[in-house]
Structure 1
Amino acid sequence: MSRKDDYYNRAKQEGYRARSAYKLQQLDETAGLLGEGRTVVDLGAAPGGWLQVAAERVGERGTVVGVDRQRIDPLSDPDPTVEYVRGDMTDDSTKDEVREVVGGDAGERGGPVDVVLSDMAPNMTGEYDLDHARSVHLVRQAFEVATDLLSSGGDFAAKVFDGQDLDDLKADIEPEFEYVREVRPDASRDSSSELYLVAKHRLTAPVREGEVVEVTIEDIGEEGDGIAKVENFTLFVSGVEKGETLEVRVDDVKPRYAFAQPAE
């Protein structure tokens, strides 16, 4: 039996609306995207296979929002976990509706969402370069939505077709997250060039790796590093004393703090 038939038949037997449900399961097992109580936005969610998986994994304390221009048949009625927003993901009115559903606005440290997912694909033309370029465009649109909605430390995963623009796409996404990796789920068809870019731990810090900033050391931490603040964001600075004002170079940025050392 082909892989396509295997996952198609499993979806039918196990009650999933699309075989793509297994791709999200495998993405989650590989990259740890979903978890109890998380808030997840699924872009291009119809017919709802990814919504089913996400709802199972975030549980009753979580929230899953499916966004699509098409109507999505509710998974159950009533459904306390899953909400539906019908509209174009790039429209401000659609994003406003998503924010209303999840209960929060974008603030100093990001928005109210833990995970943004996109399994969208362009209408296929059969011309590989064109289909690849269109898939990259969809990811860029989804990425724009993700940076607007994701909280500090949030995750983003989107489908794209492999091709010449992939490296540039990754390079544009990477500065906003701790790291970006490529994942190819087993549930993808053997002949497919699709892969998923998984961006982990969104950075909303006011500094970036390699940047030089002037700070004042306000205190010394338990590990002996100096503690400084940049717009209320914490920098741990090695080899300094309390009260010093100096320029430091940022070495490593995490969602809620960063490490630095005195600039030469």
Structure 2
Amino acid sequence: MSGKDEYYNRAKQQGYRARSAYKLKQLDRELELLPYGATVVDLGAAPGGWMQVAAEEVGSGGRVVGVDLQRIDDIEDVPAAVETVRGDMTEDDTKAEVREVAGGDVDVVVSDMAPNMTGEYNLDQARSVYLAQQALATARDLLTPGGHFAVKVFEGPDFDAFVEDVEESFSFVRVTSPDASRESSSELYVVGKNYVNAPVAAGDTLTVTVEDEGKEGDGIAYVEGFTVFVSGASEGDELEVEIEDVKPNYAFASKV
């Protein structure tokens, strides 16, 4: 039995709307993408196979919001709260509606979007990268610090540059190909974990004022409200520092 038949038949037997559901299952098993209680936004969600998996994994404490230009039939018999938004995720009105439906922080953004295939690989690949870039922009708009992201991209020109873009926003990035992907497919999945939405980056030098002292004795400064721990500094110091490491909610720096 071919891989295609195996996952197609398994989806039919287990009630998933698409064989692609197993790709998200495998991504979650490998990389712990969907924590219990998370709020997940699924871009290009029709017909809803990824929404089914996400709802199972985040459980009764979680919420799943599916977004697509196509209508998505109601998803039932899953533990999480599930809602859909019909619209174009590149439009501000749709993003605003997603934020409202999500009801607060978004913990995970996933996208299995693919372009309408023309059969001309270079064109299809370029469109795939464009869709992935739109998904990344959406993730940056919606994710809470520490959140996760997964997106499908066709391998080819600009793929490495796209991965570098993801690396700018997440502290952990992995490129992987789930077993459920067809052997003939050039699709890869880029997964980013621990979203960093910081006004500073490693290597930056800047002048800060130490306003407090941490439990470990480091000075604490704030850059646009973002916490920076400065080793060997005391409250009241004004000094130039270099950013050494950036985490989702804080950074470490040393005196220059």
Give the Cα separation in 2 of the matches to 1:191 and 1:78: 32
- 1:210 deviation in Å? 1.0
* Residue identity in the other structure for 2:153: V
Deviations 1:29-82 (A, max 9, x none): 112111211000000000110010000011111110010111111112898610
- 1:179 deviation in Å? 2.9
Could you say which residue in structure 2 is the equivalent of 1:173?
Answer: 166
Deviations 1:131-167 (A, max 9, x none): 1111000001111111111111111111000112111
Could you say which residue in structure 1 is the equivalent of 2:44?
Answer: 44
Could you say which residue in structure 2 is the equivalent of 1:210?
Answer: 203
Give the Cα separation in 1 of the matches to 2:210 and 2:114: 49
- 1:240 deviation in Å? 2.8
Which structure 2 residues correspond to residues 1-264 of structure 1 after superposition, within 5 A? 1-76=1-76, 81-104=81-104, 112-263=105-256
Distance 1:245-1:253 versus aligned 2 partners, 3 A rule: same
Give the Cα separation in 2 of the matches to 1:54 and 1:79: 10
Secondary structure (helix, strand or coil) at the match of 1:70 reads coil
Unaligned runs of 5+ in 2: none
Deviations 1:152-194 (A, max 9, x none): 1111111000112111112222212213220111110111110
* Residue identity in the other structure for 1:154: G
Secondary structure (helix, strand or coil) at the match of 2:114 reads coil
Distance 1:131-1:234 versus aligned 2 partners, 3 A rule: same
Deviations 1:105-127 (A, max 9, x none): xxxxxxx2111110000111222
TM (normalized to structure 2)?
0.95
Give the Cα separation in 1 of the matches to 2:5 and 2:37: 33
Secondary structure (helix, strand or coil) at the match of 2:61 reads coil
- Identity over aligned pairs, percent: 65
Give the Cα separation in 1 of the matches to 2:98 and 2:15: 27
Give the Cα separation in 1 of the matches to 2:143 and 2:6: 35
TM (normalized to structure 1)?
0.92
- 1:231 deviation in Å? 2.4
Give the Cα separation in 1 of the matches to 2:8 and 2:99: 34
Whether contact under 8 Å (2:64, 2:80) holds in the other structure is no
Whether contact under 8 Å (2:55, 2:80) holds in the other structure is no
Distance 1:80-1:219 versus aligned 2 partners, 3 A rule: closer
